[in-house]
Amino acid sequence: MFILIVALMSISLIGIITVQLYWINNAVESKKEQFKNDVQKSLGSVSQRINEKEETNFEKTIEGFMENVGLANDAQIRNYLFQEIDTTSKQKFTFGSTFLEENFKLPTDFLDNDSLIVKRVSGKQDFFHTRLIKGVDNIFSATDEKRTSFTKRYSEIEKTYFSQAFGIYKKTKPVHQRISNRELNEIIKEELVKRNIELDFKYGVYSKDGLATKLKSGYYTIDKNDGYKYPILFDTNGDMQHELYVTFPTKKEHILSGISNILWLSLFFILIIIIAFSSSLYQLIRQKKISEIKTDFINNMTHEFKTPIATINLALDSIKNPKIIGDNEKVLRYVQMIRDENKRMHTQVENVLRISRLEKNQIEISKETIDMHDIIDDAISHTSLLIANRQGSLNTHFEAITTEIPGNQFHLTNVIVNILENALKYSEGKPKIDVYSESTNKYFVVKIKDEGIGMSKAVQKNVFDKFYREQKGNIHDVKGHGLGLAYVKEIVDKHHGSVLVESEKGVGSIFTVKLPLI
């Protein structure tokens, strides 16, 4: 069930985050597309304005020149006659005109010893409308519609001459002389602002062969892969001559700013979901661990109580025996056995209650000035018989210069005793224990080293947790409830010190306790 719940929660979390990221990505892509469309429309308007402006300027230049010159370099009169016959209505329309063609040499400033020939066409038009009736030609004045048609033809002749001159101008004039950087920059900026794009931009104009021109933003090199392009200058046939590339250095920030509120809100909720999931998963794992520890503790406690209870029952049954009840010596021995086992159970219960009271801050630890060497000696005396029974050895190496600290004698003695007993429990054969002391400017340091079975890295992380034991289940090769080192950490923390362990499997362990000096 636990694995199923974790799996379902994980799948749900991944699904929610995936959907959120999908919508965020869609929103960003939509903004990019909208931005691209706005830029392309702006560049289209830029291209149109540039071409219209260039044509207008060229036309004004030619007209101004011809007005200033006055006389043409070459002039000739041409007669034109156009006829149109409508066979259905038997009508004939005749357009006759005399044109004066004047050639003006427009000097250029970009080619040596060269000039541009511009023609001006002027003349007088005559319109005739003839209707054929029974072989007789009747002449009427031209209708407005036909007059307009013939005038159009006359205008087309003028446009043809202008178009030819304008085409030569486009071919020979360099692009940076057809429009300046300042004008191009202003036009681009104006068109972008019209579509609410108020960003810094860089631009460059390239020929149709991909060669860079002098029209660009300073020395800035355009990244064509990240830019937007649009044709801006064309020849007389409408074929592209140059392309305008525009890039926006802060484009990403601009796109994200448009959806920043939704983006941050989505990320905020995703973060909440992840935190909630992590917290739930942590609580599940923690409760599962507590449940396992609780089961182990109950098993160990049951076993620890079972032995003294059985011993007490056996002693009581022995005392009731008529043969023994009269033997005072045996009765006293059994009574002492009952007292010892009762004291043992009382000590175990007291250890559990002591840890509980420490966690709830229900134990007030009074502090006084104590000598840590005396505390260590007192603790060693409490365990000396146990070490002797195991035929072990304990050596002290006191090198601390300053040994007085503010602390509680009773609890600090229990701290050293618990660490020494832990060293005895987890030593195979004859235990060998060394106790070292040293002092720094701020701390008194005591190290207790054993050559026992040691512990793995995973065990070291949890060794100071309440009820934690490396052996799991109802295994009792080593007595205890996993409370000794938890008590050690609680007492050391109450003294504003620290305790840590260094261990290697099969080599032994070193417990280091640091306590602040006076």
pLDDT tens digits for 364-418? Answer: 678 899 999 999 999 898 888 788 888 889 999 999 999 999 999 988 998 998 8
Strand-pair category, 136-140 with 202-207: unpaired
Please determine, for residue 59, whether its predicted confidence score (pLDDT) is greater than 70.
yes
The confidence score (pLDDT) of residue 474 equals 40
What confidence score (pLDDT) does residue 141 get? 44
Contact in structure between 517 and 442 (CB atoms under 8 Å): yes
Q: Which residue has the higher pLDDT, 148 or 500?
A: 500
> In one letter, which amino acid is 28?
V
Instruction: Look at residues 423, 424, 414 and name the one whose alpha carbon lies nearest to residue 350.
Output: 414
Enumerate the β-bridge partners of residue 212: 206
| Confidence label for 66 from pLDDT (cuts 50, 70 and 90) | low
- Looking at residue 416, its pLDDT comes to 92
Q: SS3 breakdown of the chain: % helix, strand, coil, rounded to 5?
A: 55, 25, 25
pLDDT in tens, 107-141: 555 344 455 565 665 655 454 444 444 444 444 44
Distance in angstroms (rounded) separating the CA atoms of residues 389 and 367: 34
User: Which pLDDT value is given to residue 471?
Assistant: 53
Q: Is residue 492 scored above 70 in pLDDT?
A: yes
Greater confidence (471 vs 300) lies with 300
Percent of the chain with pLDDT over 90: 16
Name the pTM for this structure: 0.46
**Domains recognised in the chain with CATH numbers:** 2-54+176-257 (no CATH), 71-173 (no CATH), 289-355 (1.10.287.130), 366-516 (3.30.565.10)
Better-scored residue on pLDDT, 293 or 437: 437
The pairing of beta strand 368-371 with beta strand 212-216: unpaired
Pair of tokens at residue 456: 């793995």
DSSP calls for 74-142: EEEEEEEEEEEEETTTTEEEEEEEEEEEEEEEEE-SSSTT-EEEEEEEEEEEEEEEEEEETTEEEEEPP
Give me the sign of the Cα torsion angle 185, 191, 194, 199.
Answer: negative
Q: For residues 493 and 313, what is the distance between their CA atoms, to the nearest angstrom?
A: 41
Residue 72 CB-half CA count within 13 A = 17
pLDDT digits (tens, 9 = 90+) for 144-189: 554 555 456 556 655 665 676 677 677 777 787 788 888 889 999 9
Kindly give, in sequence order, each residue whose CB lies less than 8 Å from that of residue 267, ignoring residues fewer than 6 positions away.
none
As given in the structure block, the two tokens for residue 179 are: 């429009």
Task: Give 469-477 contacts, CB < 8 A, sequence gap 24+.
Answer: 469/296, 469/300, 472/292, 472/296, 473/296, 473/299, 474/299, 474/300, 474/303, 476/300, 476/303
